[in-house]
Amino acid sequence: MFTRYAEDYPVGTVYDLGSHKVTAEEIITFGTTYDPQPYHVSEEAGDASSFGGLIASGWNTSAIWMRLYVTTLLPDSAVEGSPGVDELRWLRPVRPNDELFGGAEIIGTIPSLTQRGVLTLRKRGWLTTADGEKVLTLILNSRFRRRPVSS
């Protein structure tokens, strides 16, 4: 049974999502599978690029944030999927050995027009480096069930 509903994520609440240390192997594996541009799949090609080294795909960076979000905020929650992302920005390349720190803030709610017991929670998310430099920002909409009314 669920223990966390839409009402358990109040607007204005900021969540620490933890951290993830990026490896060259992870970058190359993700790049080879999903975004096989040269600077995502080869250290040599990355060195020869304008990036001056191997960098993570922006989609890899987004997946890191998503993993931190799902494992921190969604266990035992009544989440019902997502109608999408309104904004996604990759602000600087992510490199091997970067430790990324995730965060999220609930910035609003939107009642469902078709399902009485569902709210869409709007979240601003981010990843930063250890020195606080942002590498990713996004606005994610997620549908959550409302707490059942007790009779």
Please tell me the predicted confidence (pLDDT) of residue 116. 86
CATH of the domain at 27: 3.10.129.10
Residue at 30 is within a domain: yes
Average pLDDT over residues 2-27: 97
Residue at 38 is within a domain: yes
Confidence of residue 5 (pLDDT cuts 50, 70, 90): very high
Whether the pLDDT of residue 151 is over 60: the answer is no
Cα–Cα distance for residue pair 129/101, rounded to 1 Å: 6
Residue at 1 is within a domain: no
CB atoms within 10 A of CB 120: 17
Domain count, the chain: 1
Average pLDDT over residues 5-15: 97
Range of the domain at 110: 6-145
Helices (H) and strands (E) in the chain, counts: 4, 5
- At 146, give phi and psi (nearest 5°): -80, 160
Residue at 97 is within a domain: yes
Q: Which residue has the tokens 């019902």?
A: 80
Encode pLDDT of 95-114 as tens digits. 999 999 999 999 999 998 88
Residue at 114 is within a domain: yes
